[in-house]
Amino acid sequence: MKVEAPAKLNLSLRIAEKRPDGFHELDTLMVPLPGLTDELDVEGAEEFSFSCDDPAVPSDESNLVVQAVRLFEQRTGRTCRYAIRLAKRIPSGAGLGGGSSDAAAILAVMEILEDTGLGRDDLHELAARLGSDVPFFLRQGACRCRGRGEVLEDASVEAFPVLLLKPGFGVSTPDAYGRWRESRQLAGVRYDPQGLDGMDLVNDLERPVFEKFPFLAEMKTWLLAQPGVRAALMSGSGATVFAVLADDGDGEALAEAARRDLDPGLWSWTGETGGAR
């Protein structure tokens, strides 16, 4: 069985106080990117195995895909004998949720293949135990996520064109959250909400991440100055910065200009967000 696991964008991310469980209280609006996906190939086997075509991705028990299988086995009492191969297309350390999406996809596939009778709520509970973003990927569209990310509410967001840019480095999510409270804004960088089709695009993690990685602030500032860009924001904890494009915007041309003006090694992707429900 082959399954695609889509990336996501955070259109807004607000952070409140740290909870007693160590997580921060969140309010975030997320949309899927159905055109940017990892691919998982799952086949029956004599014993479980996991491999990835990206050697930088761990294939041991620290990988969220492996953890998802182990959690499913623990919950259902089944032994899942499958060979899982991951074709990685979503960059790591990017704030695009690739690992979380892979984990959610495998939870859903295990239930399809094993047919244990777990319902949507059961899978949601398992997903929440794996990570804050994982429950979102069990849904099929935009969601407003609260709590530490596990309290989901369907949202209606029209599709729009975007350009994603990411430098060669990644950002540690725990480090970004850990530095949030004490971080300071950089002069000359826009952090305030940007209005877009009745939404406010804003990300509270830009402050700590830009302070540590000022090149990401430079990317955002550069994008906001380009014609055909309606808004620009960092996704999640970074290191991806995305631009919302006008309908006649040329994402490929903008990506080439960014490589010329900012960094010739920038990774880029252009496409559309997931549309309204």
Give the residue-averaged pLDDT of 86-91: 97
Give the residue-averaged pLDDT of 203-208: 98
The 10s digit of each residue's pLDDT in 147-177 is 988 899 999 999 999 999 999 999 999 999 9
- Sorted by sequence, the CB contacts under 8 Å of residue 203 that are 6+ apart come out as 10, 12, 13, 233, 234, 235, 236
Give CA–CA dist 131/151, Å, rounded.
12
The pLDDT score that the predictor gives to residue 41 is 98
The 10s digit of each residue's pLDDT in 42-53 is 999 999 999 999
| 14 in Cβ contact with 40 (< 8 Å) | no
The domain locations on the chain are 2-154, 161-272
Average pLDDT, the chain: 95
pTM: 0.94
Residue 50, amino acid:
F
88 belongs to the catalytic site: no
Per-residue pLDDT at 24 exceeds 90? no
CATH code, 2-154: 3.30.230.10
133 belongs to the catalytic site: yes
Which one from 8, 88, 166, 220 is the annotated catalytic residue?
8
Which one from 38, 133, 204, 220 is the annotated catalytic residue?
133
The 10s digit of each residue's pLDDT in 212-249 is 999 999 999 999 999 999 999 999 999 999 999 999 89
Per-residue pLDDT at 109 exceeds 70? yes
Q: How many other C-beta atoms are found inside a 10 Å radius of the C-beta of residue 177?
A: 19
Share of the chain above pLDDT 90, in %: 92
Give the residue-averaged pLDDT of 179-183: 93
161-272 has CATH 3.30.70.890 classification: yes
